[in-house]
Amino acid sequence: MRAATVPVLALLASISAGGAIAAEIAARDIDAVAETEAASLDALYRHLHAHPELSLREEESARRMAEELRRAGFEVTTGVGGHGVVAVLRNGPGPTVLWRADMDALPVREETGLPYASRVVVHDDAGREVPVMHACGHDLHMTVLVALARGLKTLAGNWSGTAVLIAQPAEERVAGARAMIHDGLFTKFPRPEAVLALHVSDALPSGTVGYRPGPALANVDSVDIALFGRGGHGSAPQTTVDPIVMAARLVMGLQTIVAREIDPREPAVITVGSIHGGTKHNIIPDRVDLQLTVRSYSDEVRKRLLEAIERNAVAEAQAAAAPRRPEIRMSEGTPATINDPALTRRVVEALKRGLGGEAVQEIAPIMGAEDFTYYGREGVPAFLFMLGTVPPEKVMASRVPGGTPLPSTHSALYAPERGPSIRTGARAAITAVTALLAPR
């Protein structure tokens, strides 16, 4: 990610002390919009939560987003980069600011017990029957997108410029951002001077937002490893090459990469999230499959981790006299998300005025990843911040010794505190975008 470019510096400079006063006046109007729309947005959120769709299949979610954005007064284009939706509101001369929300859900069986819990079950790309849940908060992201659209239209007399709102597919597959960019997001539509987004946090209290200038989210890579052995009867292991033992040694060996090959001051994670092999107690199989997620921040550490994983897998196979070299496939990689420092500073100032300084806090970098990074890599200053979604009392209880851990995103138990999260998300989104558009 580049530092702030000349256009965004000019944009930030154009918002003077007078702009700060305008933002303070608008804060009361923004709160009023959030309260007026609260019941409607709550109903929308519950609908979206109960009707999740997997990545690249967001047909109904995209249709609903397009319908809501048109109703809010935007010019809407559908089918951008798959099921992507682009909505444009031109409101006189001034900067162009883009806000992004994502739409896809995860193959997780919901266990929240909520009355509007998802009961959706579909067949995935491999033909397997899988449950589907909005376990990463994209339903809340879409709800905030609609709140932002309504707020911008209602407050159109207070700002000037162009707002571009997008509903993006396939974030979980790290494919949607690039698909929309390749389909002309920045050429067929007004090119923004700044790109913004928020993401739910499973650790921050509802009513708050968190931010991090510079590196904020990690590089992520998915690695698939197939280890090959020679199968046989479990009573005669000497006649086989056991890939389960090979895999067990590899899993333990991979942990030493971070512990012994990476500078302790550099964040790095290697997690084996899936391991499959064998069919019966007394059969040694001829193959074991492992799936890894690999996290880092710097390009150098990322490269070293991936090289070391391959080296360890090949070495284990050689040590076991495996009949075949392992198959190693690396996919769904995403570079680190780096928030533009100047843009971050400007938006955070506005958020503190709009939400109150105590509700806006700087947080540590997160080892999760986002394909939001690709918008910034197109030379557009970008800033993604985090939205608190956990009841404050639960956050406090989780922080005491022996406290109950909070369900993380991607968990079957993750459930945002609905009302406060929607209201704060709406207020934050409208505040952030209008702070970058020219005041009237």
Tokens 């079957």 locate to 412
Per-residue confidence (pLDDT) for residue 3, from 0 to 100? 38
CATH class name, domain 221-334: alpha beta
Given a contact cutoff of 8 angstroms between Cβ atoms, the answer to whether 388 and 206 are in contact is: yes
Does residue 22 surpass a pLDDT of 50?
Answer: no
Which residue type, as a one-letter code, is found at position 8?
V
Per-residue confidence (pLDDT) for residue 21, from 0 to 100? 43
The whole-number average pLDDT for the span 375-381 is 96
Does residue 8 surpass a pLDDT of 90?
Answer: no
Tell the CATH topology of 6-218+336-439.
Aminopeptidase (3.40.630)
Q: Provide the annotated active-site residues.
A: 104, 171
The whole-number average pLDDT for the span 111-134 is 97
Per-residue confidence (pLDDT) for residue 10, from 0 to 100? 52
The whole-number average pLDDT for the span 248-263 is 96
For the chain, the structural domain boundaries read 6-218+336-439, 221-334
Does residue 20 surpass a pLDDT of 80?
Answer: no
The DSSP code sequence of 201-265 is: EEEEETT-EEE-SEEEE-EEEEEEEEEE-B-EETT-GGGSB-HHHHHHHHHHHHHHHHHHHS-TT
The whole-number average pLDDT for the span 87-104 is 98
pLDDT tens, position by position, 24-45: 446 888 999 999 999 999 999 9
Order of strands, edge to edge, in the sheet holding 327-334?
Answer: 268-277, 287-296, 219-228, 327-334
Q: pLDDT class for 15, splitting at 50, 70, 90?
A: very low
Given a contact cutoff of 8 angstroms between Cβ atoms, the answer to whether 117 and 185 are in contact is: no
Burial class (CB in 10 A: 0-12, 13-18, 19+), 405: exposed
The C-alpha angle with vertex 296 and arms to 130 and 194, in degrees rounded to 5, equals: 85
Q: pLDDT class for 210, splitting at 50, 70, 90?
A: very high
pLDDT tens, position by position, 298-326: 889 999 999 999 999 999 999 999 999 99
Q: pLDDT class for 184, splitting at 50, 70, 90?
A: very high
pLDDT tens, position by position, 217-245: 999 999 999 999 999 999 999 999 999 99
What does residue 259 show for φ and ψ, rounded to 5 degrees?
-70, -30
